[in-house]
Amino acid sequence: MAAFRLKPHPIPDAALDADIAILGKKGRGKTFTAKGIVERLLQMQRRVLVLDPLSVWWGLKSGADGKSPGFPIPVFGGPQADIPLHDAAGSTIAELIVSTGTSAILDMGQMRKAEQARLVADLLEYLFTHNRDALWLVLEEADAFAPQQPMGELTRVLGEVDRIARRGRNFGFRLISLTQRPAKLNKDVLTQLSTLIAMGVTSPQDRDAVKAWVDGNADRDQARKVYDSLAKLRVGEGWIWAPDHDLLDRVKFPAIHTLDTSKTPTAGDARITAPVLASADLAKITRQIQAIQATQGGNAKRPAKAAAKPPLVPMVPIQPKPASRPKVVTATAPSQLAAAILAARTAAGLSQTELAAKLKTAQANIARLEKAGSMPSTNTLQRIAKATGHKLAITFSRNARSQT
Question: Would you state the pLDDT for residue 120?
Answer: 98
Give the pLDDT score at 112.
94
Average pLDDT over the chain reads 85
Q: How much is the pLDDT for 322?
A: 39
Type of residue at 184: K
Q: How far apart are CA 166 and CA 236, in angstroms?
A: 30
Q: Note the pLDDT tens digit of each residue in 316-368.
A: 443 333 344 445 555 555 557 888 888 888 778 777 778 888 998 888 888 88
Cα(389)–Cα(344) distance, integer angstroms = 8
Q: Which of 85, 80, 32 is nearest to 55 (CA)?
A: 80
Amino acid at 217: N
- Cβ–Cβ under 8 Å, residues 392 and 380: no
Burial 268-285 (b: 16+ CB within 10 A, else e): eeeebebbbbbbbebbeb
pLDDT of residue 90: 96
Would you say residue 217 has pLDDT above 80?
no
Task: Say whether pLDDT at 41 is over 90.
Answer: yes
Of 48, 312, 277, give the one whose Cα is nearest residue 175: 48
Distance CA 268, CA 265 (A): 9
pLDDT reading at 35 higher than 50: yes
Rounded distance, CA 287 to CA 277, Å? 22
Q: Comparing 141 with 335, which gets the higher pLDDT?
A: 141
CA dist 370 → 102, 378, 388 (Å): 22, 15, 14
pLDDT, position 398: 66
Mean pLDDT lowest among 197-201, 264-268, 397-401:
397-401
Over 60: is that where the pLDDT of 306 sits?
no
Residue 69 half-sphere exposure toward CB, CA atoms < 13 A: 13
CB of 318 closer than 8 Å to CB of 342: no
Evaluate if residue 156 carries a pLDDT over 80.
yes
For the segment 102-121, the average pLDDT, to the nearest whole number, is 96
Residue 139 has pLDDT above 60, yes or no: yes
Predicted confidence at residue 369, as pLDDT, reads 86
Could you read off the pLDDT of 48-89 as tens digits, one per residue?
A: 999 999 999 999 999 999 999 999 999 999 989 999 999 999
Which residues have a Cβ under 8 Å from the Cβ of 309 and sit 6 or more positions away?
A: 86, 87, 88, 89
Give mean pLDDT, residues 176-189. Answer: 92
What pLDDT shows up at residue 266? Answer: 67
Read off the pLDDT of residues 245-261 as tens digits, 9 standing for 90 and up.
Answer: 999 999 999 999 999 99
State the amino acid at position 361 in one-letter form.
T
At 151 the three-state DSSP class reads coil
Separation CA 231–CA 202 (nearest Å) = 5
Judged by average pLDDT, the poorest of 20-29, 81-90, 141-150, 268-277 is 268-277
